[in-house]
Amino acid sequence: MEQRNLGLQHVPVIGIGCNNFGTRLDAAQSAAVVAAGIETGAVFFDTADVYGAGASEEFLGAALGTQRDRVFIATKFGIPFGDQTGGAHPDYVRFACEASLRRLGTDVIDLYQLHAPDHAVPLAETLGAMDELVTAGLVRQIGCSNFTAHELRDADHLAKGAHFVSVQNQYSLLWREPEVSLFAALEETGACLLPYYPLANGLLTGKYHRCAPIPEGTRLALMGEERAAHWLSEGLFETVEAIRSISEETGYSMLTLAFSWLLSHEPVTCVIAGASSPEQVRTNAGAVQKLEPALLERLNELTLPEALP
């Protein structure tokens, strides 16, 4: 699989989001997904302490066993769960990291990410605590998630040691807001983008159809009605149907169009895609193609946000 630079490290262009581990998937099912990731080269595993209230990290660590050195582990902290307070206070940063290391069964985390800004704590203090983790050898690099351009620029200015090398935000053919608000800051700071929801909660897989029931067990079926209503809106479905037409015309799957379009943008290093089965991992891993410039332009024009020229 193609590799790209993430700070000082190299990662595959397709990663596996582990939010299903410990929620929709048990330990054995999670292990099967991990094995498929190693088999296909999709060895960027992105998890968080809040996923499954710690179970995701535990299942990932157990599944890796002696194969830890073959993979790239990214995890996140900061969102409260169970009896954990969350946040980004320096004391909690160290505590959360050590807890994640125990659950993962490893002595180092490749990418440690602040899951969301904590406006109650000075960002410089959080960055200082995360830099201490890097200095101590517990973390190789640091990143953030759900940061605005302003927050990313502030972090880059305030960092005295380790800088955020990545930002994990929502980005897809159906959500192009980062192009408006974030891309310039990524270029200025040198950070890369790790898109989550690359398939727009499954809409870009092709399994949802207008006026048809939502397939059981899918992400949208398990989502609250208010959130699901947004993703099932008439406007989004019109765009999805147009992308489906392009898929049928060109012979590229909707999955290939979605992933390959994302990876055609320079700030994108790795696309984080959730998986609930080994088959899904294999499909995701094989989906990336180099799309023709004319096709990329058609997709751009079809999904162009109003705020973009």
The catalytic residues are: 51
Tokens for 95?
């505590």
Residue with tokens 């973009």: 308
Strand residues in the chain grouped as ranges (E) = 3-6, 9-12, 14-17, 44-46, 72-77, 109-114, 139-145, 164-168, 192-193, 271-274
- How many residues are listed for the chain in this entry? 309
**Which residues, listed in sequence order, are joined to residue 73 by a DSSP beta bridge?**
45
Q: What angle do CA 67, 70, 76 make, to 5 degrees?
A: 95
Residues 6+ apart with CB under 8 A from 212: none
Residue 254 carries which side chain, given as an amino acid letter?
M
Q: Do residues 227 and 238 touch, judged by C-beta distance below 8 A?
A: no
Q: Distance between CA 220 and CA 3 in Å, rounded?
A: 31
Q: Distance between CA 130 and CA 114 in Å, rounded?
A: 9
Residue 97 carries which side chain, given as an amino acid letter?
C
Q: What angle do CA 38, 42, 47 make, to 5 degrees?
A: 95
C-alpha 156 chain-centroid distance: 21
CA 253, 255, 259, 260: dihedral to nearest 10 degrees?
Answer: 0
